Amino acid sequence: MNEKTPPATRPTEATPGEAQLESEVKGPLATRLGEIAGVFTLLGFTAFGGPAAHISMIEDQVVTRRNWLTRKHLLDIISAINFIPGPNSTELVMHLGYLRAGMAGLVVAGACFITPAVLIILPIAWAYISYGALPRVAGVMAMISCAVVAIVAVAAWRFATPLARQPQSMAIALACAVMAILLGRYTRLQPELVILAFAGLSGIVIGEFARARSMFRAIAPLPLSAMMSMHAAVPEYVRGMGSLCLFLLKVGATLFGSGYVLVSYLRSGLVIDLKWLTEQQLLDAIAVGQFTPGPLLTTATFVGYLLGEGRFGGGHVGGVAGAVLATLAIFLPSFILVALVGPVMQRLRDNRIARNSLDGMNAAVAALLILVCVQLGVASINAGGLAGAAVMAAAGVMLAFKLNATWVILGAICVGMLLPG
């Protein structure tokens, strides 16, 4: 399988751009894996912000700059992965690796996107244990936040432009934007899943003018009840890490929607139930996940080091081992789920009813991205004139000079280092 192009790399409607993609994917496996490793390692070191920012930077790299697939194909994948648990942007990376180089590409892409954050968080966790505080990064984070808003704005523009020529998609996008505002303000429902389900059904009804059923079913959470009967003779470190890994496996297998739902999972499990972390330690762990690049779920790396080094008595070596094990535990379900979903994605794209559903959800994805952009933009303007000016300057440079989003982030870091922390 590794030497053959996976079926999912053959898009539905053969446009010239996708025909070019077809020929590019047929290169040697080693070359494709090297290309995947380079792209997603770079993103792993520079993808600051939440899932919206990650998706924006991924779109810039794989669609705008490398033409690995069309923007429509990318939207199809984004829509579908919202219906499986786990970190959406990380699963998007894994699926793109699968499209490019099969199962080997899936593993390489996921590992290269996650590992940079782990390497950055480990010394931060060591410093936190040693000195009892996090480094001051206020100035850098302020400028990175401005750059993230600009990157999301440019991606939102690219995704939304095709909708202007499709009145039906525009109507769905507008309805989804209104739903997002109302659901976020007046209910406790998970807005993304509700909105995407509505958009998918709307796409089916509009496209087929007939009854249809949703093409997606939520994947049942893996049965992860406590299966280990720990004996008193087992060392505390082994017992503690075993329990932590089981807990993080359950989180990774059942976490739907935004990675920020992770805060609720960790607080209820590690602070309230097990009492392994204090409220302040949890806040510090989330802060580390936010101000380092890559997926927010690498918060588990910090938690693993903290508990492995101190609570479970493993010292610095035990902390590093705990960080690695915790990272593997929380991300392992995503690798498995994407490996299962990847081969069937093209069948969904080829199916007429599912195609209409994906088209509806694509409009919803674009609407949600625009809404996130507006919310971030308002926040940056409220933060002061400097932040608003920085956002506009970064967006203008990206559009005028087609500047890579990575350079925008690096520039923001340099400017932020000059500001008072």
> What single string gives the DSSP state of each residue in 373-408?
HHHHHHHHHHT-HHHHHHHHHHHHHHHHH---HHHH
What predicted TM-score, i.e. pTM, was given to this entire model? 0.67
Q: What is the pLDDT along the chain (421 residues), one digit of tens a residue?
A: 333 334 444 334 444 334 344 334 668 999 999 999 999 999 999 888 777 789 888 999 999 999 999 999 998 998 888 778 788 899 999 999 999 999 999 999 999 999 999 999 999 899 888 876 666 666 666 676 677 677 667 767 776 777 667 777 777 777 777 777 776 665 555 556 667 677 767 776 666 543 433 333 333 333 433 333 333 435 888 989 999 999 999 888 877 655 556 776 788 789 888 899 988 788 788 778 877 888 888 989 999 999 999 889 888 899 999 999 999 999 999 999 899 888 888 787 777 787 777 777 777 767 766 776 676 666 666 655 566 677 777 777 777 777 666 677 677 777 777 766 5
**pLDDT value of position 9:** 41
The whole-number pLDDT of residue 348 equals 77
Domain carrying residue 68: 1-421
Cα distance between residue 184 and residue 190, in whole Å: 8
Q: Element (H or E) spanning 17, and its range?
A: helix 16-24
- Name the domain count of the chain: 1
Q: Measured between alpha carbons, how far is 326 from 115 in angstroms, rounded to an integer?
A: 13
What pLDDT sits at residue 158? Answer: 72
Residue matched to tokens 């697939």: 69
Residue/partner pairs of 318-325 with CB below 8 Å, 24 or more apart: 318/237, 319/125, 319/126, 319/129, 320/122, 321/241, 322/241, 322/244, 323/118, 323/121, 323/122, 323/125, 324/118, 325/241, 325/244, 325/245
d(C-alpha 384, C-alpha 377), whole Å:
11
| Pair 197, 191: CB distance under 8 Å | no
Question: What is the token pair recorded at 105?
Answer: 């590409």
Closest CA to 11 of 84, 96, 72: 72
Structure token digits, residue 16: 């010239």
CA dihedral 77, 196, 159, 49 (to 10 degrees): -80
At residue 225, the pLDDT reads 39
The answer to whether 69 and 80 have CB atoms below 8 angstroms apart is no
Assigned token pair, 241: 């890490």
Alpha carbons 172 and 9: distance in angstroms, whole number: 28
- Residues with Cβ within 8 Å of residue 198, at least 6 apart in sequence: 175, 176, 179, 364
Report the candidate in 119, 13, 63, 16 with the shortest Cα–Cα distance to residue 404.
Answer: 63
CA neighbours closer than 13 Å in the CB half-sphere of residue 393: 13
Instruction: Check if the beta carbon of residue 300 is closer than 8 Å to that of residue 324.
Output: no
- Rg of the chain in Å (alpha carbons): 21
Whole-angstrom distance, CA of residue 51 vs CA of residue 113? 13
Give the C-alpha separation, 252 to 47, whole Å. Answer: 20
